[in-house]
Structure 1
Amino acid sequence: MRRLPLPGIPAQAAIDDPALRAAYAACRRFAKTANPTEYSLMQLMPAAMRPSCWALWTALSVPDNIIDTASGTPAQRVTRMRAWITSLEADVKQGTSSDPFRRAIVDTVWRWNLNLRDLSVSFSAIEADAEGRRPATWTDWSARVQRSNASWAGQCLILFNRAGLPTPMRPQYQRDFARYLDGVYLTDTLADLSADLDRGALLLPAEVIDGFDATPADLLQRRWTPQIQALITHLVSRARHQLNAPAFLTVLHPGAVALFTAVSNLFLARLRAVERAGPRLLHTGPRPGKLARQCILAPARAKAALAWQMTPLNVPRTPSLPPQQIALPLTPAARPAAHTPPRPHASGVRPPAIAPDRMPRHVAIIMDGNGRWAAGRDLPRHEGHRAGRSALLDVIEGAREIGLQHLTVYAFSSENWQRSPEEVAHLLELARDGRQQFVAGGVRLRWAGSPDGLPEDLVDELHRGERETRGETGLTLTICFNYGGRAELAGAAADLARAAVAGDLDPNSISEHLLGRYLPNPDMPDVDLLWRTGGEHRISNFLPWQTSYAELHFTDGYWPDVDRRDLWQAIVTYGRRDRRHGTASATPRPAALAKTSSGRSAGDR
């Protein structure tokens, strides 16, 4: 006899275990009561995925509620939050829980093979809220939004992908999606302003408050001044602009388009309620009326349901053994207080002393010659790539030893797909298991490249490495994987064009600086030194924008034969260069004047 679900649990997600069904129902009630708006939007997801959405929302909301409560000191609230997370860790290990919320969360993690470490970024951001720190700038505010909500959005995308509904967020749309999230949470901040003021919290960036000659005291003491009115008007306009016509909708499944369109319309309605509230905004939380909500949600439900019905879903069953993706612990305290120092070179050699003004900030490397190294030893080409990874690990240790700030390596170009399927498969496999090599060393990992064509689990792993190391302040290691420099520039140009069409910028104001801000990693500094091994003398579509003024350094040895000493020698060579950036040299370089006995200058040899 088929087990029927409890009320509210979709038939597609029917579960035989009554306790587990009750656990999902508890998450559903919690979401519906705590945040009716987000709950109504979760109901636009495919029916079979809704219970997992309720559980994941609960996983983030329970710690957030603990921190936001007025009970106890901030330190006591942090202790309670960490205790809940520790209990979740223990429950995940054993595969069940006596707590209904955590029981549903554990089943979701096991069922969908999720990595709960993705939540640790949000847990850290939630914990930081207990300290009451105000964001200073819009950049700080946006970073907090992304940290707090990246896990929720990322896990939902993983659910889509693993259910057979790929939702690739291509690099050219990531900026647009981040801006859209900013609009959603700025709207939330405005609608919840009075509740935040009740607990003495002011989440708006200081720069925008100061820019309107308003004061935090005016807001905290609920004084509706002309400056506060102008501030709110500006913030409403900013949020509305961020929510309107997101470009990433053009690449999503029709069901996801219906969902995000409903999000936009519902939050735009909330902004209209904020506008109408006037001085009451500082005392009550304005919400759209029930009729307005229904006019938005009813057609969205019909469109989403039709779209999902036309798409077959693959909802996994709960496995009997733990999934492979789980990584624990989750608590922010789990991070080691001190990172492991760089491993010394086998020879005991130490890095050379480099004067600060002769030290490059950013070194980029084209790691060439792996295949030729293997062929010279009658080995398969993939063995050359494996040896090349060992060389990279030693070079990274050398970069840490010498104090390099940025290291970028060309691991897999968009043209490398033309190689044999066997070689490509080995390159993808090597990329999957590289992240853990760097976490203990305080290295910040970044990925530059496109997800197009890459396996979903590898894309998840690359993003996970970025999230887990986002707070590190040592060496920034950028892995260029499935990367093409011209494609990166074309994507930035397309983003600029979309921004101009949307009215975000004047086409006449486009400059080199502005184009650079639209690159996928706009904070990446220009490359000072570009080093290529393997005897080739070209840059092969690698960082064409960032290497415009780079010093070029070519060596003949194959990459697997390289170690940190070669990096140090490249840096020493760089330090001897006269970098003029288009200006005239103050004095002629001696090499240009020293003549040999044959009459040729030393620089001509």
Structure 2
Amino acid sequence: MGTAVRHALLEQARNRLALTLVVFFVPLWLTLAYRVLPSDPVQFFLRAAGRPVNLDANTVTQLSGGLHAIALIVGFMMFLAASRSAEFDHRLVLAGYPRMCLLLARSGVLLLTAALTAGYATAWVCVFYRPERLDVMAAAFMVGALTYGGVGTLLAALLRSELAGMFVVIMVSFIDLGLQNPVANPAADSPLLKFMPAYGAMQAAVSAVDVTLVPWRHLLLGLCWSAGLTVAGLAAFTARTSRHTLRQTLLRLRAPRPSVRLMTLRLLHPLRARMYRRAGIRDATVISGYETCRRLLHRSGPVQAATTKLLPAHIRPVWWAVYGYGRYVDDLSDTRHASRRERSEHVSRFSELLEADLRRGHSEDPLRAAIVHAMWTWDLPSAGLGAANTVYRQDAAGESAIATWDDWFAYWRTLTFPFGVRPLMNLLTAPGLAFSPHDAQALRVWTDALNLLDTLRDLREDAVEGFAKLPAAVLDEYGVSTEELARGRASGRYPDMVRAMTARTRQWLDRAAAAGSQHPPMAAALRTVVDLQRLELNRIDRDPHALLNGPSRAHPVRFHLTLARGRRRVARAWRRHARTAVQTPAVIPLPRSAEGDATARGTRALLPPVPHPSGVRPPVLPPERMPQHVAVIMDGNGRWATQRGGPRTAGHEAGQLALRDVVYGALEIGLPCLSLYTLSTENWTRPATEVEALLRSFQDGLDLEAEEIWQRDVRLCWSGVPDGMPPEMVRSVRRTEHATRNRTGLTLNMCVNYGGRTEIARAARALARQVAAGTLDPDAITPRHLASHLHQPGLPEVDLLIRTGGEMRTSNFLPWQSTYAELVFLDTLWPDVDRTHLWQAIDTYSRRDRRFGAARSSPDAPDQDGSAG
């Protein structure tokens, strides 16, 4: 009970506008009415006294205006408090909190608010004159406050907009009290007015001026109005917190009448409806979920909302889903006044439901349906969701702690973009537009700046929860206490701490502003977002103490002007790209035709492989025992360099020598095809320096003149996607592929920017397009159809898969082609591997009995493959 009362009182205390009106507007109105309006007597029939009375006009106007002010203020206070606490009440009821305690708390706070407001107004009336019955006047004011408090409680259950609620309260009270003022309405004694909510309170207040009798009947009439309206409001609150309603609002296990919502969206927001159609989103439940995510994003802050407006329209929904997911789970973990265990249970429940929906590929809940749709449609990885949900559960349980900057980076980078920065960058990649490794690192720095700015913006709110999301070392350095922050007080060198954090944020923004050199539209968008963030930082620097009263927003006029200029710059950049893209060839230009290629004509003599320094020769194997395709996962470069005290990039340089020797070994033993896992789609998340080293070594290895591999009988094939790769590197790969296409020795398949699941999904999309075009019967699809759409459909399936470095997993490498591959795992780190390791693995392969699910080829053959073969 105490928790519910404290929360209700806190909601009332947060309404600073209403408190200001109580303190200043009531005495201002009474003073103006007494000083400005004439004191001429007004005669009218007072039904509470049963006779005509003569009262001064300013006195009657004081009473009518004072009662009007009380009704308006208390009604709006109750409406706003009930509206803002609705979600909290839902969660309390879901957690098993007694609904009766919430009802009693709300009723008690209404009584307390009405009593305090009525007593304050009565005290100000006594400043100007002494009524005959002071107790009757206070009771009349309190009855009027209770009546409109009930009106506010009822409206909170019927309306969702704060502006609409305030408008309704103003209009109803204006009509009610305006018609009952005999100064403004000569027919104020009309019998129809007794059906007005404030009729009894007005009659009792006027009778208290010069009538000694207590108007019990009119006071009871006012109490009946207040009780009826309050009961109706509490009944509506009870209905809203029922289990059935909770399933629809909090857990959202059903989507009530999605078609109506979709029709409303099309009528009220035709541009957004058109955007959904262009993105291929037509399911009403999914659209409802995206709209929920959009509203959650707008609650996150003005910069996050502005960022969406700078993106192409067709990918805005995925941005909404990414932020909506984080905001919703964060709200579940930070639900105020719920126990730690209940918060953790809510987060766990939502995570379990989302994981189940992701496995099915759809959801009946709108919010989760939008997240699932975004992850399936835009192929976002779900690996980071588990780590993010773990952090949210720790937050809910109060187990999170940030001691140092390393902890801060680990905390926020787990929560920010759990789907990954690289997949989101790939969505913005277009022909002629790409991102470099520098851009990926710059975007990560920008997210750090965004997170630090959010930390400052929510500093007090987080401190109230007992977890100020700044490193404890920073708080200790400046002597700032979390307890004092929670009380809205500045301790220690608080201004110095805030300005130090804004200076750090500016440094990160300066580093991020240089991103997008090869992607002008996104460079313009990022610069605009950085400018908007700097406006917020300027506001914080001018008044650091404003953060103790709530989030500090940038100057609205400057903010929107900056956003408008940025949107124009982004639109111009996209238009310029559209004009130049037409002139750019759709395919990458290749060298001269094969007739003019000396390599194709065979005029250039190809060298034999360099012998092994020890003179060792490969084993001689029967042709039927020789694998046709060997795939190698080259693992251990970084560990090799770390063990020797060098940077990880040194390991990749040493790995190039190992690669060259293994290629020579494949040529010597007569291996037809060799696939090497050079760079996976997941490797982009590594440090930028390491990714640059990998790309640089691969780029150097493509030089036809300098790289000695291409002076041998080696044909290059590339498996991977060009998204995110430097355009010059893509051109180099295609050029080398073309120059070596007629060679008949070793086929070297370099898997760069490759992901097995991405490859299969790409093939499935190609088949889906054929089915949609009517050229392929879905019932006729066989594995051969899908295999024909892989990166290199002409290569044989993998017979032998080797992984170095001691790890025992395939890491998303050629999953379709390696279905029946023999596996060999080596403890040797890749830079220490040479051709002899390849030969030993092939020799091991030659002694294995491969049955492909059939019976054992001979009774004496060892059963190494299990029953499945």
TM-score of Structure 1 vs Structure 2, range by shorter chain = 0.5 to 0.7
Shift of the alpha carbon at 1:295?
1.6
> Over residues 331-359 of structure 1, what are the superposed CA-to-partner deviations in whole Å (9 max), with x where a residue is unaligned?
xxxxxxxxxxxxxxxxxxxxxxxxxxxx9
Partner of 1:138: 405
Conservation of the 8 A alpha-carbon contact between 2:347 and 2:392: no
Q: Distance in 2 between matches of 1:461 and 1:119?
A: 19
Shift of the alpha carbon at 1:190?
1.0
Shift of the alpha carbon at 1:81?
1.6
- Secondary structure of the corresponding residue to residue 271 of structure 1: helix
Partner of 1:340: none
Q: Distance in 2 between matches of 1:106 and 1:243?
A: 32
Shift in CA distance, 26/225, structure 1 to aligned 2, threshold 3 Å: closer
For the pair 1:561 / 2:840, whether they are aligned, the reply is: yes
Ranked by relative contact order (alpha carbons within 8 Å, sequence separation 6 or more), the top structure is 1
Conservation of the 8 A alpha-carbon contact between 1:13 and 1:48: yes
Shift in CA distance, 221/475, structure 1 to aligned 2, threshold 3 Å: farther
One-letter code of the match for 1:157?
M
One-letter code of the match for 1:141?
W
User: What does 1:40-189 align with in structure 2 at a 5 Å threshold?
Assistant: 40-130=306-396, 131-151=398-418, 153-161=421-429, 166-170=433-437, 172-189=438-455
Q: Distance in 1 between matches of 2:716 and 2:295?
A: 48
Conservation of the 8 A alpha-carbon contact between 1:46 and 1:305: no
Conservation of the 8 A alpha-carbon contact between 2:286 and 2:367: no
Residue 425 (structure 1) aligned to one of 717, 729, 735:
717
Conservation of the 8 A alpha-carbon contact between 1:370 and 1:381: no
Conservation of the 8 A alpha-carbon contact between 2:307 and 2:529: yes
One-letter code of the match for 1:142?
F
User: What does 1:327-338 align with in structure 2 at a 5 Å threshold?
Assistant: none
Shift of the alpha carbon at 1:423?
5.4
Conservation of the 8 A alpha-carbon contact between 2:463 and 2:482: no
One-letter code of the match for 2:310?
L
Q: Distance in 2 between matches of 1:232 and 1:378?
A: 67
> Over residues 28-66 of structure 1, what are the superposed CA-to-partner deviations in whole Å (9 max), with x where a residue is unaligned?
233234544312221110011112221222222221221
User: What does 1:25-424 align with in structure 2 at a 5 Å threshold?
Assistant: 25-130=291-396, 131-151=398-418, 153-161=421-429, 166-170=433-437, 172-244=438-510, 246=512, 248-311=514-577, 366=655, 367-368=658-659, 369-382=661-674, 413-418=698-703, 424=716
Partner of 1:470: none
Unaligned ranges ≥5, structure 2: 1-262, 582-642, 680-692, 704-708, 734-750, 759-804, 811-828, 843-869
One-letter code of the match for 2:406?
T
Q: TM-score, normalised by structure 1?
A: 0.56
> Over residues 97-152 of structure 1, what are the superposed CA-to-partner deviations in whole Å (9 max), with x where a residue is unaligned?
21111222222222222222243343333334333433222222123222221436
Shift of the alpha carbon at 1:460?
7.6
One-letter code of the match for 1:370?
V
- Secondary structure of the corresponding residue to residue 418 of structure 2: helix
User: What does 1:537-556 align with in structure 2 at a 5 Å threshold?
Assistant: none
Q: Distance in 1 between matches of 2:389 and 2:436?
A: 24
Q: Distance in 2 between matches of 1:173 and 1:475?
A: 33
- Secondary structure of the corresponding residue to residue 133 of structure 1: coil
Shift in CA distance, 178/57, structure 1 to aligned 2, threshold 3 Å: closer
Q: TM-score, normalised by structure 2?
A: 0.40
- Secondary structure of the corresponding residue to residue 382 of structure 1: strand
Q: Distance in 2 between matches of 1:312 and 1:55?
A: 28
- Secondary structure of the corresponding residue to residue 244 of structure 1: helix
- Secondary structure of the corresponding residue to residue 285 of structure 1: coil
Shift of the alpha carbon at 1:533?
4.3
Q: Distance in 1 between matches of 2:578 and 2:276?
A: 14
CA RMSD, 1 decimal = 4.4
Shift in CA distance, 63/165, structure 1 to aligned 2, threshold 3 Å: farther
User: What does 1:478-497 align with in structure 2 at a 5 Å threshold?
Assistant: none
One-letter code of the match for 1:63?
V
One-letter code of the match for 1:302?
R
Q: Distance in 2 between matches of 1:476 and 1:141?
A: 30
Structure number, greater radius of gyration: 2
Shift in CA distance, 287/75, structure 1 to aligned 2, threshold 3 Å: same
One-letter code of the match for 1:114?
L
Shift in CA distance, 410/377, structure 1 to aligned 2, threshold 3 Å: farther
Q: Distance in 2 between matches of 1:98 and 1:558?
A: 53
Higher helix share: 2
Q: Distance in 2 between matches of 1:562 and 1:40?
A: 56
Partner of 2:98: none
Partner of 1:602: none
Partner of 1:498: none
Shift in CA distance, 195/459, structure 1 to aligned 2, threshold 3 Å: farther
One-letter code of the match for 2:666?
A
What percentage of residue pairs aligned between the two structures are identical? 22
Conservation of the 8 A alpha-carbon contact between 1:209 and 1:215: yes
Conservation of the 8 A alpha-carbon contact between 2:330 and 2:392: yes
Conservation of the 8 A alpha-carbon contact between 2:461 and 2:486: no
Q: Distance in 1 between matches of 2:526 and 2:551?
A: 23
One-letter code of the match for 1:375?
L
Conservation of the 8 A alpha-carbon contact between 2:402 and 2:469: yes
One-letter code of the match for 2:466?
G
Conservation of the 8 A alpha-carbon contact between 1:187 and 1:236: yes
Q: Distance in 2 between matches of 1:13 and 1:460?
A: 31
Q: Distance in 2 between matches of 1:193 and 1:288?
A: 16
Shift in CA distance, 114/177, structure 1 to aligned 2, threshold 3 Å: closer
Shift of the alpha carbon at 1:309?
4.4
Shift of the alpha carbon at 1:229?
2.0
One-letter code of the match for 1:374?
A
Unaligned ranges ≥5, structure 1: 315-358, 390-408, 433-448, 465-473, 480-528, 535-555, 564-605
Count of aligned residue pairs for this structure pair: 395
> Over residues 304-352 of structure 1, what are the superposed CA-to-partner deviations in whole Å (9 max), with x where a residue is unaligned?
23333455699xxxxxxxxxxxxxxxxxxxxxxxxxxxxxxxxxxxxxx
Partner of 1:495: none
Q: Distance in 2 between matches of 1:298 and 1:202?
A: 34
Conservation of the 8 A alpha-carbon contact between 1:9 and 1:25: no
One-letter code of the match for 1:156?
L
Shift of the alpha carbon at 1:254?
2.4
